[in-house]
Amino acid sequence: MLFPSRYSSLVVSVLMTTYMAGLMTLAITLVNTGFDSGFLVRWAKAFLISWPIAFSLITIGRPLVLRLAEKLIRH
């Protein structure tokens, strides 16, 4: 194990936001600008802008979303 269990929420947030921001910016950049010699630079720029936003939103909103999900799930 690389990280102590107390960091599990942070590790999940980093991995999930990297996955989502990476794929979403890849798809949106590809659709909007096409694939050419400058594609990777445009995609990397979009990712570097979107990932910190996604991470902040998940870090702040995760507890609220978990509580809402708990209320929506029948036990």
Q: Please give the Cα distance from 30 to 17 (Å, whole number).
A: 19
pLDDT of residue 1: 75
| Residue type (1 letter), 6 | R
pLDDT tens, residue by residue, 6-56: 999 999 999 999 999 999 999 999 999 999 999 999 999 999 999 999 999
Q: CB burial class (10 A; 0-12, 13-18, 19+) of residue 17?
A: buried
Domain locations in the chain as residue ranges? 9-69
Going by pLDDT thresholds of 50, 70 and 90, the confidence category of residue 75 is confident
> Model's pTM, two decimal places?
0.84
Whether the Cβ atoms of residue 20 and residue 54 lie closer than 8 Å to each other: yes
pLDDT of residue 43: 98
- CA 48, 38, 22, 18 dihedral sign is negative
